Amino acid sequence: MEPAAWPGYLGQHSGLPGPRANLPLAAAAAIAADESVIDELLRDGGEYQTMCAAAALGRRSSEPAVEARARALATDERWRVREGVAIGLQLLGDVNPAVVPPIVLRWADDPDPLVQRAAAAAICEPRLLRTPEAAAVAIEVCRRATDHLIAFETQRRKQDDARTLRQALAYCWSVAIAADPAPGLAVFGALDTSDPDVAWIVNQNRRKKRLSRLL
């Protein structure tokens, strides 16, 4: 398919408008799209087309210049585009597991909460956490992102980007801990629940079955 035909095809098969986008197609597009297709999708600017481009860039983030483009899309105002970046990083982890940990650790210290959120959402995926080393990276990303969140003043935490990060941490911790419970629970148990946002994050994760059965 010629690059110019991709936006229309993806739009027709996106599943949108609707409650769920076509994620298998987005993943396939991320794998198959080359640079010219990515540029064409970004020029189109549609939500699903941009999501697919974001996933394609995430999957190619072993290249520093491409990583920077993916990082920029991790701050997009559209949540599906942001999710596309996380999906792409997970696809990268499927084929090159050693590349993703340095990326997500860098992103976890980015000043933008949405980039931190992308780091946590990307690495806190069970299929990527099959070794203690990988699980340790996920725990560290969650720890750093939580520390950055609670470093914000109260009013700053109420802004949409910080609330989006908080929402991600409400499940990411449980995924990371379930991958290697003993060290994960030690870090999780040391969180300062006197902070109201930390207390909320802890309570939300405790409700997840994957964590509640370990407690």
Q: Confirm whether 109 is domain-assigned.
A: no
The pTM (predicted TM-score) of the whole model is 0.96
Which of residues 76, 96, 116 is at a domain's end? Answer: 96
Q: Confirm whether 44 is domain-assigned.
A: yes
Whether 137 and 89 map to the same domain: the answer is no
- Where does the chain have alpha helices with state H? 6-12, 23-32, 35-44, 47-59, 64-73, 79-95, 100-108, 113-123, 132-151, 154-157, 160-179, 181-189, 196-206, 209-212
Q: Confirm whether 159 is domain-assigned.
A: yes
Q: Confirm whether 185 is domain-assigned.
A: yes
| Spatial separation of the C-alpha atoms in residues 152 and 213, rounded to whole Å | 32
Query: Nearest-CA neighbor of 125 among 22, 57, 10, 23?
Result: 23
Whether 208 and 150 map to the same domain: the answer is yes
Which of residues 96, 115, 145 is at a domain's end? Answer: 96
Q: Confirm whether 32 is domain-assigned.
A: yes
Query: Nearest-CA neighbor of 111 among 144, 78, 83, 69?
Result: 144
Q: Domain limits at 54? A: 1-96
| Spatial separation of the C-alpha atoms in residues 28 and 52, rounded to whole Å | 9
Whether 212 and 138 map to the same domain: the answer is yes
Whether 64 and 150 map to the same domain: the answer is no
Whether 90 and 25 map to the same domain: the answer is yes
Q: Confirm whether 82 is domain-assigned.
A: yes
Q: Confirm whether 41 is domain-assigned.
A: yes
Whether 85 and 4 map to the same domain: the answer is yes
Whether 12 and 69 map to the same domain: the answer is yes
Which of residues 96, 122, 142 is at a domain's end? Answer: 96
Whether 88 and 156 map to the same domain: the answer is no
Domain count, the chain: 2
Whether 91 and 144 map to the same domain: the answer is no
Whether 74 and 139 map to the same domain: the answer is no
Note down pLDDT in tens along the chain; length 215 residues: 999 999 999 999 999 999 999 999 999 999 999 999 999 999 999 999 999 999 999 999 999 999 999 999 999 999 999 999 999 999 999 999 999 999 999 999 999 999 999 999 999 999 999 999 999 999 999 999 999 999 999 999 999 999 999 999 999 999 999 999 999 999 999 999 999 999 999 999 999 999 999 98
